[in-house]
Amino acid sequence: MKWLGNHPEWVETYYAQGIYPYISQFLRVLFGWIPFSVGDLFYTLLIFSAIRYLYLHGRSILKRPITFLTHLGIVLSIAYFIFHFLWGLNYYRLPLEEKLGMEKEYTLADLEVFTTYLVHQANQSQVAITKDVSEAVQVPYTRAEIFEKSIFAYREIEHTYPSFAYRNPSIKKSLYSLALTYMGYGGYLNPFTGEAQVNGKIPIVRYPTVSTHEIGHQVGYSSEAATNFLGFLISAKNTDPYFRYAGYSHALAYCLSDLRRKDPSKFNILWEEVNVGVKKNYQEIRKFWERYENPTEPIFKSIFNAYLKANSQKEGIQSYNRVVGLLVNYHKQYNF
């Protein structure tokens, strides 16, 4: 698998655009119709099975540790292969910016221009919904309705980008939403069942971009920057005003954060231009995550950071922020 990973053109041609679409559709047909998360149940059974095995065979493990470690190595090797065969090889495909013919680097001037544009778009979207610059946007949809609208959003954009085609949907609320919240995650893709899992506790104003982000993983993009980009792009280009607001405001948050690091004075100027209602939504999201801060969150983030680096994402968890370059250059080339 690592050898294949050194040949991204092969992975792109024969896996990402070859057999993976059939694998992913098969998994979604197999598990998508089931109303609960099969993947979460699978992980639960796996944990209990491991605990049971250690309980029943603890003494024999201590007596023959080499045998146990050999068997464990075999099991992990098989799991490693299955993970990559079912989804993980997408980590080694050609970068999204290369497929879209875009640059990934950008200047501070580029960032300022694009952030200014996003401030205008987010403000305009917020006022169109609330009719009041100081009122926070309240999304009137249920989470199930947002899932349906996210699926439809991919169908809308498929005419422009056929490679984003999404068939046989399988997107669900995670059974472990509380645990995901304490770990600081908005969702994840289960590579063994092909289900997109979304944290059911996150503020609903974030649900459109998180849902479209996780579907982005299902259609074959492993990079967090790429799926963040898809989540923002597909939400912002949606005909639904609440999706557009979610896309623009979430992208704006990333760009403002990047601008604050690089040019605090310019950040302060643009931050003053953001509507009070948009800021209230940001405050709602910040307070939500603050309520669940705990000593274990940095540990889980560190583990995920190591996992990403082991799968060819050199920036680790910071790869989420690389979405800014994709957004800036897409705007320059195609008008976001």
3-state secondary structure 137-161: CCCCCCHHHHHHHHHHHHHHHCCCC
Residues 226 and 296 in one domain: yes
Please tell me the predicted confidence (pLDDT) of residue 296. 77
Residues 228 and 324 in one domain: yes
Which positions ≥6 away from 16 have C-beta within 8 Å? 89, 90, 93, 94, 220
Residues 237 and 262 in one domain: yes
Which positions ≥6 away from 245 have C-beta within 8 Å? 122, 125, 126, 129, 137, 205
Of 235, 256, 238, 257, nearest in space to 246 by CA: 235
Residues 203 and 330 in one domain: yes
Residues 44 and 163 in one domain: no
Please tell me the predicted confidence (pLDDT) of residue 117. 97
Residues 83 and 101 in one domain: no
Residues 244 and 194 in one domain: yes
| 330's tokens | 């897409």
pTM of the model: 0.91
Strand order in the sheet with 195-198: 171-173, 195-198, 187-190
Q: Give the Cα-Cα-Cα angle 219, 224, 225 (nearest 5 degrees).
A: 105
Q: Give the Cα-Cα-Cα angle 228, 289, 247 (nearest 5 degrees).
A: 30
Cβ contact 181:292 at 8 Å: yes
CA distance 302 to 44: 22
How many structural domains are present in the chain?
Answer: 2
Residue type, 78: I
Please tell me the predicted confidence (pLDDT) of residue 279. 98
Residues 49 and 116 in one domain: no
Residues 293 and 270 in one domain: yes
* Residue bearing tokens 């503020």: 203
Ordered per-residue pLDDT tens for the chain, 336 residues? 878 888 999 999 999 999 999 999 999 999 999 999 999 999 999 999 999 999 998 889 999 999 999 999 999 999 999 999 999 999 999 988 888 888 888 999 999 999 999 999 999 999 999 999 999 999 999 999 999 999 999 998 888 888 888 999 999 999 999 999 999 899 999 999 999 999 999 999 999 999 999 999 999 999 889 999 999 999 998 999 999 999 999 999 999 999 999 999 999 999 999 999 999 999 999 999 999 988 877 787 677 667 667 666 666 555 556 889 999 999 988 876
CA distance 324 to 278: 19
Show the domain range for 75: 2-92
Please tell me the predicted confidence (pLDDT) of residue 315. 67
Cβ contact 308:319 at 8 Å: yes
Residues 116 and 88 in one domain: no
CA distance 282 to 245: 12
- Of 59, 92, 125, the residue that ends a domain is 92
Residues 75 and 177 in one domain: no
Residues 114 and 234 in one domain: yes
Residue type, 117: Y
Cβ contact 18:97 at 8 Å: no
| 293's tokens | 């801060």
* Residue bearing tokens 């947002």: 146
Please tell me the predicted confidence (pLDDT) of residue 208. 97
